[in-house]
Amino acid sequence: MGLTRRQALGGFAGAAATGLVPAASAEIAPNWSSLVAAFRVPDWFRDAKFGIWAHWSAQCVPEFGDWYGRQMYVQGNPFYEHHRKHYGHPADRGFLEIENAWKAENWDPEDLVRRYKAAGARYFMALANHHDNLDAYDSKYHAWNTLRVGPKRDIVGTWEKIARAHGLRFAVSNHSAHAWHWWQTAYGYDAEGPRAGERYDAFRLTKADGAGTWWEGLDPQELYTGPAMVPPDGIETAQAMRDWHEVHSRRWMEFAPPENPHHVAKWLLRQQDLVEKYRPDMVYFDDFGLPFGSVGLEALAHYYRQSIARDGQVEVVATAKQLTPYQRTALVDDVERGFSDRLRAEPWQTCTCIGDWHYNRARYDQKSYMPAAKVIQRLCDVVSKNGNLLLSIPIRGDGTIDGEEDKILAGITRWMQRNGEAAIFGSRPWRIYGEGPTRVGGGMFNEGKVDFTAEDVRFTTRKGALYAALLAWPERPVMIAALGKTALPDAAIERVMLVGGGRVKFERGEAGLTVTLPRAEAGDFVPMLRIDGRGLV
């Protein structure tokens, strides 16, 4: 018998995750109905609420931000100009050289994971590969991996051992499904200037060209995935070349390359190898839906079968993006750099970063990272809506984080040590997520400029208590309408406490509960209130 929708979603609001799971011997077929029947959101994920992500690859080496490998091959793009200034012309020194320049020479994963755990992370995610197609692990099916290139070590395997030793759930992210179209700019050329028409390195290099070089024995076409959407000869302006790429090798494609079935077959082998070797508790697919249709279904079925063989039931989480309601009963919806505009029935996740996904020195110089207070505002908003927050702290190519990131991590740590155990970890949503004047839209890439106020309130429940986070520290009394006598006529409020502090003066009327908080101490933000009484939860 299949699951009901309620069972598959793991309950609602404060309800515990329940539902039928297949026996250890059951087979999960690579189709949606079989995956839906097998899956429930495991309790560990629902309880965790907060994870930290090391979104770290060779693209952090130039310290210039996101999608360096693709954009450095687009004449007129700032990434192209940066690459020419610091590394040379992309026909002479392509991104494969940057892959090898990633040495991770100052990486101290033990220290980083210890600090992530202190900051409240209950799961840790390592980037297994990005669109640049370098596997950061001991990859059986892909020679372009970090045991042979760059760091010369198993990055994912090292993270995995240390994260588990610290009691964290371990996760990996797989972005390589998009490598085939992402790399097509590397097969282009300068359309104007002294080297107009001269093709970049991906177009020219073969395995034979590696003789006597550091990449001897490796095939650059396996890294760059092979030509699929190569710009024709005769494009005469940089703008025309940019327009060509915009039309033909767009920034995001979800289908398989018809002329390169090998890439798809190899992607599946790499994904299966990844989960068999490192047994991740969570896999993040950087895809709208599952990669490559039926191939993605096979990858997910394989992952769930691995968990059943090990745990007796599906105890792992897979995430993908822009899922349909039915698909959200088979895996978890991830909202990249976005909000939810509602309390969701099913657990979900938002992923965001305090800066660029890949390290950008300008963020440090300009002091433009997301501050700790805004991170915590996001956390409280997400958790109140039945979600988890996955946060990236960008890492330099050498394996370190900078001084500004240190300060942000310290601020998150202070808040979590005061409030996390009480109101975040193991919590469940209340009957509504909250209230307040600030409205956020639902969907991806909609972070924008959101300025929450002290009147913006977010609720959680834990162990029979109701918690209310005020998303800014109030300088005057705040009224919470959802806790008034009109809204909750059968409830009684007996005590209001500031978590980590003392009693809070309150007055309850028909229109709302008015609370008066003490002044914030230095470094304080987002006060959390515990509200005790009868008929609240």
* pLDDT per residue as tens digits for the range 73-117: 999 999 999 999 999 999 999 999 999 999 999 999 999 999 999
Residue at which a domain ends, from 376, 401, 424: 424
Give Cα 420 distance to the centre of its chain.
20
Is the pLDDT score of 463 beyond 60?
A: yes
Q: What percent of the chain has pLDDT over 90?
A: 91
Residues 343 and 275 in one domain: yes
Residues 413 and 490 in one domain: no
Read off the CATH number of the domain in which 467 is found: 2.60.40.1180
Three state DSSP letters for 122-173: CEEEEEEECCCCCECCCCCCCCCECCCCCCCCCHHHHHHHHHHHCCCEEEEE
Mean pLDDT in residue range 308-327: 97
Give me the phi and psi of 52, to 5 degrees please. -120, 140
- What sign has the CA pseudo-torsion 288, 294, 295, 296? positive
322, burial (CB in 10 Å: exposed 0-12, middle 13-18, buried 19+) = middle
CA-based max dimension of the chain: 81
pLDDT single digits (tens) 111-140: 999 999 999 999 999 999 999 999 999 999
Provide the number of structural domains found in the chain. 3
The pLDDT score that the predictor gives to residue 23 is 41
Residues 403 and 527 in one domain: no
Both structure tokens of 304: 């769930």
Residue at which a domain ends, from 383, 404, 424: 424
Q: 31 is in which domain, residue-wise?
A: 5-38
Residues 442 and 384 in one domain: no
State the pLDDT confidence band at 448, using cuts at 50, 70 and 90: confident
Q: Is residue 133 part of a domain?
A: yes
Which run of H or of E encompasses 376?
A: helix 372-384
Residues 28 and 168 in one domain: no
Q: Is residue 203 part of a domain?
A: no
Give Cα 397 distance to the centre of its chain.
19
d(C-alpha 260, C-alpha 291), whole Å: 15
Q: Is residue 51 part of a domain?
A: yes
The pLDDT score that the predictor gives to residue 259 is 85
Residues 402 and 458 in one domain: no
Q: Are 47 and 425 in contact, with CB atoms under 8 Å apart? A: yes
**Neighbouring residues of 92: CB distance < 8 A, sequence distance ≥ 6:** 201
Q: Are strands 457-462 and 434-435 parallel, antiparallel or unpaired?
A: antiparallel
Give me the phi and psi of 181, to 5 degrees please. -90, -30
Instruction: Scan for tokens 């991590």, then name that residue.
Output: 409
Residues 62 and 129 in one domain: yes
Q: Are 57 and 104 in contact, with CB atoms under 8 Å apart? A: no
d(C-alpha 163, C-alpha 110), whole Å: 8
Q: Is residue 213 part of a domain?
A: no
Residues 34 and 51 in one domain: no
State the pLDDT confidence band at 29, using cuts at 50, 70 and 90: very high
d(C-alpha 498, C-alpha 505), whole Å: 10
Q: Is residue 503 part of a domain?
A: yes
Residues 397 and 520 in one domain: no
Residues 277 and 391 in one domain: yes
pLDDT single digits (tens) 248-266: 988 889 988 888 899 999 9
Helix (H, G, I), strand (E, B) or coil at 87: coil
Residues 124 and 264 in one domain: yes
For residue 110, count other CB atoms closer than 10 A to its CB: 13
Mean pLDDT (the chain) is 94
Give Cα 233 distance to the centre of its chain.
39
d(C-alpha 298, C-alpha 280), whole Å: 17
pLDDT single digits (tens) 177-215: 999 999 999 999 999 999 999 999 999 999 999 999 999
Is the pLDDT score of 2 beyond 80?
A: no
Q: What percent of the chain has pLDDT over 70?
A: 95
Is the pLDDT score of 15 beyond 70?
A: no
d(C-alpha 212, C-alpha 421), whole Å: 57
Q: Are strands 317-321 and 282-288 parallel, antiparallel or unpaired?
A: parallel
Q: Is residue 375 part of a domain?
A: yes
Q: Are 307 and 316 in contact, with CB atoms under 8 Å apart? A: yes
262-295 b/e (C-beta count within 10 Å ≥ 16 → b)? ebbebbbebbbbbbebbebbbbbbbbebbbbeeb
Residues 357 and 283 in one domain: yes
State the pLDDT confidence band at 449, using cuts at 50, 70 and 90: confident
Q: Are 218 and 139 in contact, with CB atoms under 8 Å apart? A: no
For residue 152, count other CB atoms closer than 10 A to its CB: 11
